[in-house]
Amino acid sequence: MSATTAVAPLRIGVIGVGRIGRMHAGLIAHQVPGAALGAVYDPHEPAARGVAEELRVPAAGTAAEIFDSDLDAVAICSSSDTHVDLLLAAAEAGKAVFCEKPVSLDLRELDRALGAIDAAGVPFQIGFNRRFDPAHASVREAVVSGAVGEPHLVRISSRDPSPPPLEYVKRSGGLFLDMMIHDFDMARFVTGSEVVEVFACGALRIEPSFAEAGDIDTALVTLVHEDGCLTAIDNSRRAAYGYDQRVEVFGSEGMAVSENPRAHTGSVLTAAGERREPNPYFFLERYLPSYVREWQGFVDAVKNRFTPPVSTVDARAPLVIGLAAGRSLREGRPVRIEEVQAT
Amino acid sequence: MSATTAVAPLRIGVIGVGRIGRMHAGLIAHQVPGAALGAVYDPHEPAARGVAEELRVPAAGTAAEIFDSDLDAVAICSSSDTHVDLLLAAAEAGKAVFCEKPVSLDLRELDRALGAIDAAGVPFQIGFNRRFDPAHASVREAVVSGAVGEPHLVRISSRDPSPPPLEYVKRSGGLFLDMMIHDFDMARFVTGSEVVEVFACGALRIEPSFAEAGDIDTALVTLVHEDGCLTAIDNSRRAAYGYDQRVEVFGSEGMAVSENPRAHTGSVLTAAGERREPNPYFFLERYLPSYVREWQGFVDAVKNRFTPPVSTVDARAPLVIGLAAGRSLREGRPVRIEEVQAT
Amino acid sequence: MSATTAVAPLRIGVIGVGRIGRMHAGLIAHQVPGAALGAVYDPHEPAARGVAEELRVPAAGTAAEIFDSDLDAVAICSSSDTHVDLLLAAAEAGKAVFCEKPVSLDLRELDRALGAIDAAGVPFQIGFNRRFDPAHASVREAVVSGAVGEPHLVRISSRDPSPPPLEYVKRSGGLFLDMMIHDFDMARFVTGSEVVEVFACGALRIEPSFAEAGDIDTALVTLVHEDGCLTAIDNSRRAAYGYDQRVEVFGSEGMAVSENPRAHTGSVLTAAGERREPNPYFFLERYLPSYVREWQGFVDAVKNRFTPPVSTVDARAPLVIGLAAGRSLREGRPVRIEEVQAT
Amino acid sequence: MSATTAVAPLRIGVIGVGRIGRMHAGLIAHQVPGAALGAVYDPHEPAARGVAEELRVPAAGTAAEIFDSDLDAVAICSSSDTHVDLLLAAAEAGKAVFCEKPVSLDLRELDRALGAIDAAGVPFQIGFNRRFDPAHASVREAVVSGAVGEPHLVRISSRDPSPPPLEYVKRSGGLFLDMMIHDFDMARFVTGSEVVEVFACGALRIEPSFAEAGDIDTALVTLVHEDGCLTAIDNSRRAAYGYDQRVEVFGSEGMAVSENPRAHTGSVLTAAGERREPNPYFFLERYLPSYVREWQGFVDAVKNRFTPPVSTVDARAPLVIGLAAGRSLREGRPVRIEEVQAT
């Protein structure tokens, strides 16, 4: 990484400008104090050019151009199967790197990539943006401050407004690695305690075609944490009322809750009762402030040379939990985390 | 009043067992620790007998029997036009007395009755039960504790689920004396400051037949308090969504609010939004706990020989404000309280 | 059971007038239309006499007196270990019977008692009062009406304000049979689907002395229903913020939720944020309306000769689920319901 | 105005890039589909240059340069005393014009400016952004759809988190014209009915130094609408708990409410009760989505050649109400709107 001073902006190149990469590029360009968008790259050249023009930055012709440039950092937002190679390149180039999740669906590949990152000592942050949501973060703060005491029970519900296309699901790694992985991260984050055992139940209730991908669309998973805390996570690929994202930690002294925001705070009361708005529908609407704060966390860490707030260990643990959940579902029994670690 | 010890129950006779008197008799009989129902009386003899049998107490043949008995206290729950004479009788008999509001719609009559009560030194409580509602009371407590600082602005909404019959309205004294009088009391209660000026707007929007009674069904009244606090009270005779009763005090340090309870805490979320229950419909449902606490306040005060919590001054002031509101509406100008006092 | 007409009250004798029996006796005496308290009995004679005097009914000298009387029905509210014998007596006497849960902690004993009840054809209702809570009932109604579609995921949290004494715990049958049994009933009730598999996690986090009773105080249990619905139930013996009782059904068309009521609806906003009341503390406060409605259900059913709303099958199933949960916890694996049935 | 096609962006020049103008310029540049920032001007040249560089547009040397350019529209965001002259210039140049409120604090001046605008037939929109807030707008929609029936009572509370500096207040026109003017607009907007009478009460409770400006900091105003609806508006210059902005319309069929959003949806429950976040503190945070939607309304109207949604009549009426409120406060009596119109 090139030298940066406290005042110079951190110049970031974005690799991959599909839906999520384009959003990250826009945030870096306009909404993250201390950051500047340096260049974008996408294998689909017109996409790169469109975003580059809109945001008035150069479009690189290859990913290598980004790594060879004098940019300070790289954001890896391309398709998941390219992440490992790009991380290896980032490690070699000595660039600070932000990587969308997952690093890989394969634990050995992930270990190879993160091993290189750790060996090179480059700053690394994985895109578990929900940690930066102000309401979810307030749950963590209530644990850290002692307000809820020792965590005993955690409830997490994550339900999408509508299922993705079958083609996406086929390449996704399945519900545990594609969707619930955010919740595995959340369970570790809010409790501050590692997971030691997983028991998973799942069903196909919404989208029968997912059977073709060997996947489920509805799941309930129990986690046992190292400190004895018990977590229940439920997921559904379709909540008719919109995006449902709730986190709750119950402890010896109280409970901290992150409830769903409403699309707006208007309501109408008539003889039929009170009618309020459904939840906001789309994850980018729901979590936009979290993405901005995620970037602030990355930029601050890189500039001030401390470890980014969600780093290699946090990129690895949820994958292991997800793999354990998959095995638990297949074998109909609780699975210890070390059974997966040993693989 | 006959001697009572701390342990003997306060024995109370109830005069008038229509809807509200029957409720009071039932509460005294079963739900007020330290109180006992001693007898009931009603000019409609079968009504008295029915309640007496149900609650297993004697039915008095005349009101005088109640005053001549060894009962400790009397609850006056008969029709409003009998209150003054019954209060004079209570003063003479030396009975502690609880009186439903209003004492009288006529200020001179009220002064005659309360003057006798004060002269006799008998404990007196007027039935402004809403002060005892736990949520409304919490607003007052937040003022007393200093949590909201100096009161600057008060908002009170009181809206009934449905208008009373025209015949009732004709004898009621009109919206300000029949309905908003509770809110005048509430404004004095939560702020702890007397009212010095009143400006009233009103309209007939719901029940055109009330024109026959010269009454309105919708009103918005501004009060100026002695300490400079400003209060807005609105009333409607019909809220389609149920009984609406809200109080809010805004002050230099914050705001205390008493919101409507919901009929129950269930809700349903679908693609059409969230549907919650309407408000509870009926004032006895909404305010039942306040009636129980009201009696506890009376019983405690009488037993421990301190002034009941809502006494003669509180019975008079809201009537004066209501009379000022009526004049303000008729004359289309703000009316000073002393203009009414002077009458 | 003696003949009753639509107009004559159902005359009920209460056996056992400890805390819960005394409440039932009071409700029957004063708050259940169509019911009348006929007599009370308690092995501790002064207790029976006290309640009898207060409620002005005879105190029976033995339980047999109740069964031999002309009362229409019996409420069994004595200690759990007496329930089986009293149910057998009720069956023999042909009395309609309301029985507090549990019938027995032993499945064979329960089957013996309920077999006799079913054989005698006497109306029977088990005391799962929470079904009658208006908010919980609204969740069930949203399933029945189709508003939430097919149930996919259920979340139930039940947390007591404070743990019972160790001596109570020792005789209670443990957390699954004493406390979570209500939630097993709730899961069956709201989904309308039987449970086929149970996986239980539990821990001792609050009250180390419960180890002496071999019990836990914190638990998270997963249920798989016959129709594929998945339920997560969590229990804690101590919620610092009061009694926490929430139920949620998520389905193909939406979600129905029963949230906690607040002790009252007042709140205070200052620079430090909004402060609202904690939950009501005590189960009798929280669930009082459910007990009244429970009795209405029983009285209606007996008078109109239909099966009471929570009958023998509902008394048995939660015990089986609780026994399966216990085995699951001991053996660290999911347990099929038929494994317990076969015992 | 130069010709625009449906696809070409509306090119807008911003005059005045202080706090609010800078925000508008940024929104036009990045967040309003169909709009493009064409140039900026500010009499303080370094301010203009800074914003121009950040947003990569030219900085004009004079306001006249903007009017002489081929830009499609002008946003007037400079200090209030410049609005009239700039509007006259826009009328002459034939530019579509967006103007921050107020047009003028003087009714004759306002009439002169808006007369020119109307005569020239240029599209005009006044910056009453709160109409575009999704929750406030939902209240209006509930009136338009008939869900609340005929409006009977309106409550509006607007309370700022902290008072402005005395120097600002001196030039502001006073609380009614500077702050409550938004609420006068809101009352007209949600009811769809003009105001015919005003009664104002006010006090100096927070910032004694405002006496120097002859201003108040706390006010309660009653409006009577043409259709008989009654509105209560309260304002305070300092709400300790943050920015408080609520609107409520009560009508013959129900009530529509716009409640305050919370800063986030996290909360903590302990034995001390529930603690939730205070309101968001700053008006730009609270109303950001309304500014974006405000621009969308303007751009759509100009492109599609219909009258912008908040036009000259809406710019005038609230000033008249505010002047009437001022007279009411000074004279201690209700003031008819035509008394001011006649001036």
Contact D38, D69 (CB under 8 A): yes
pLDDT at residue B37 greater than cutoff 70? yes
| pLDDT, tens digit, 9 for 90 and up, residues A75-111 | 999 999 999 999 999 999 999 999 999 999 999 999 9
* pLDDT at position D343: 47
In chain A, the residue whose alpha carbon lies closest to the alpha carbon of D138 is: A266
Residue pLDDT tens, chain D, 343 long: 344 444 799 999 999 999 999 999 999 999 999 999 999 999 999 999 999 999 999 999 999 999 999 999 999 999 999 999 999 999 999 999 999 999 999 999 999 999 999 999 999 999 999 999 999 999 999 999 999 999 999 999 999 999 999 999 999 999 999 999 999 999 999 999 999 999 999 999 999 999 999 999 999 999 999 999 999 999 999 999 999 999 999 999 999 999 999 889 999 999 999 999 877 767 677 899 999 999 999 999 999 999 999 999 999 999 999 999 999 999 999 999 999 975 4
Subunits that touch chain C (at least 3 Cβ pairs < 8 angstroms)? A, B, D
Which of D134, D142, D266 comes nearest A264 by C-beta?
D134
**Range B290-301 average pLDDT:** 97
- Tell me if C274 and D276 make a contact (CB, 8 A cut-off): yes
Residues of chain B contacting C147 with CB distance shorter than 8 Å: 268, 270
Element (H, E) at C89: helix C83-93
Contact D1, D70 (CB under 8 A): no
- Tell me if D256 and A268 make a contact (CB, 8 A cut-off): yes
**Residue with the two structure tokens 């912008």:** D308
State how far the Cα of D74 lies from the Cα of D128, in Å rounded to an integer: 16
Residues of chain D contacting C262 with CB distance shorter than 8 Å: 274
* pLDDT at position A5: 43
What is the number of CB-based contacts under 8 A between chain C and chain D? 51
In chain C, the residue whose alpha carbon lies closest to the alpha carbon of D242 is: C271
Mean pLDDT estimate for chain C: 95
Subunits that touch chain B (at least 3 Cβ pairs < 8 angstroms)? A, C, D
Residue at D78: amino acid letter: S
Which of A230, A234, A332 comes nearest C201 by C-beta?
A230
* pLDDT at position B278: 77
Residues of chain D contacting A261 with CB distance shorter than 8 Å: 261, 264-265
In chain D, which residues touch C (CB < 8 A)? 240-241, 262, 269-279
Residues of chain A contacting C152 with CB distance shorter than 8 Å: 203, 205-206, 218, 236
Contact A183, A258 (CB under 8 A): no
* pLDDT at position D263: 87
* pLDDT at position A341: 77
- Does this model's pTM top 0.90? yes
What is the number of CB-based contacts under 8 A between chain B and chain D? 106
Mean pLDDT estimate for chain B: 95
Question: Helix axis angle, A283-303 relative to A134-144, nearest 10°?
Answer: 60
State how far the Cα of A27 lies from the Cα of A293, in Å rounded to an integer: 10
* pLDDT at position A4: 42
**Range B105-129 average pLDDT:** 97
Q: Which residues contact B273 (CB under 8 A, 6 or more apart)?
A: A241, A275, A276, A277, A278
pLDDT at residue B6 greater than cutoff 60? no
* pLDDT at position B3: 41
Contact B155, B122 (CB under 8 A): no
* pLDDT at position C145: 97
Contact C4, C62 (CB under 8 A): no
Contact A162, A203 (CB under 8 A): no
- Tell me if C273 and D271 make a contact (CB, 8 A cut-off): no
Mean pLDDT estimate for chain A: 95
- Tell me if B266 and C138 make a contact (CB, 8 A cut-off): yes
* Ranges of H-type helices in A246-303: 283-303
- Tell me if A273 and B273 make a contact (CB, 8 A cut-off): no
pLDDT at residue A3 greater than cutoff 50? no
In chain A, the residue whose alpha carbon lies closest to the alpha carbon of B278 is: A273
- What is each CA distance from B186 to A76, B138, B191, D67, D141, in whole angstroms? 62, 12, 8, 58, 33
| pLDDT, tens digit, 9 for 90 and up, residues B243-262 | 999 999 999 999 999 999 98
| pLDDT, tens digit, 9 for 90 and up, residues C298-343 | 999 999 999 999 999 999 999 999 999 999 999 999 999 999 975 4
Select from A207, A279, A273, A276 the least CA-distant residue to A241: A279
* pLDDT at position C256: 98
Burial class (CB in 10 A: 0-12, 13-18, 19+), D118: middle
Which of B135, B257, B265 comes nearest C258 by C-beta?
B265
- Residue C246's pLDDT band, with cuts at 50, 70 and 90, is very high
* pLDDT at position A281: 67
* pLDDT at position A342: 52
CB count in 10 Å sphere of residue B44: 11
- Encoding tokens for residue B308? 């009941």
Of the CA atoms within 13 Å of residue D284, those in its CB half-sphere come to 8
**Residue with the two structure tokens 């100026």:** B224
Which of D257, D265, D270 comes nearest A258 by C-beta?
D265
User: How far A276 CA sits from the closest chain B CA (Å)?
Assistant: 5
In chain C, the residue whose alpha carbon lies closest to the alpha carbon of D161 is: C271
Q: Strand D195-203 vs strand C244-251: parallel, antiparallel, or unpaired? A: unpaired
* pLDDT at position D239: 96
Three-state DSSP at B39 gives strand
pLDDT at residue A279 greater than cutoff 80? no
- As a whole-number percent, the residues of chain B with pLDDT over 70 amount to 97
Which of C258, C265, C270 comes nearest B260 by C-beta?
C265
| pLDDT, tens digit, 9 for 90 and up, residues A8-34 | 999 999 999 999 999 999 999 999 999
* Ranges of H-type helices in chain A: 19-30, 45-55, 63-68, 83-93, 107-120, 134-144, 166-172, 175-178, 181-191, 283-303, 312-331, 337-341
Which of D240, D270, D274 comes nearest C270 by C-beta?
D240
Please report the beta strands in D46-164, taking only residues with DSSP state E, as ranges in sequence order: 73-76, 96-99, 124-126, 151-159
What is the number of CB-based contacts under 8 A between chain A and chain B? 51
pLDDT at residue C164 greater than cutoff 60? yes
State how far the Cα of D32 lies from the Cα of D26, in Å rounded to an integer: 9
In chain C, the residue whose alpha carbon lies closest to the alpha carbon of B262 is: C261
- Assembly ipTM: 0.94
- Tell me if C138 and B264 make a contact (CB, 8 A cut-off): yes
pLDDT at residue A343 greater than cutoff 60? no
Name the more confident of A41 and D5: A41
Residue at B246: amino acid letter: R
In chain A, the residue whose alpha carbon lies closest to the alpha carbon of D254 is: A270
Can you give A66-129 as a three-state secondary structure string?
HHHCCCCEEEECCCHHHHHHHHHHHHHHCCEEEECCCCCCCHHHHHHHHHHHHHHCCCEEECCH
* pLDDT at position A286: 85
- Encoding tokens for residue B146? 């200093």
Residue B75 phi/psi, 5-degree rounding, is -110, 120
* pLDDT at position B1: 37
- Tell me if A134 and D266 make a contact (CB, 8 A cut-off): yes
Q: Which of D201, D229, D237, D259 should be substituted to probe chain B, the one whose Cβ sees the most B Cβ atoms within 10 Å?
A: D201
* pLDDT at position D281: 67
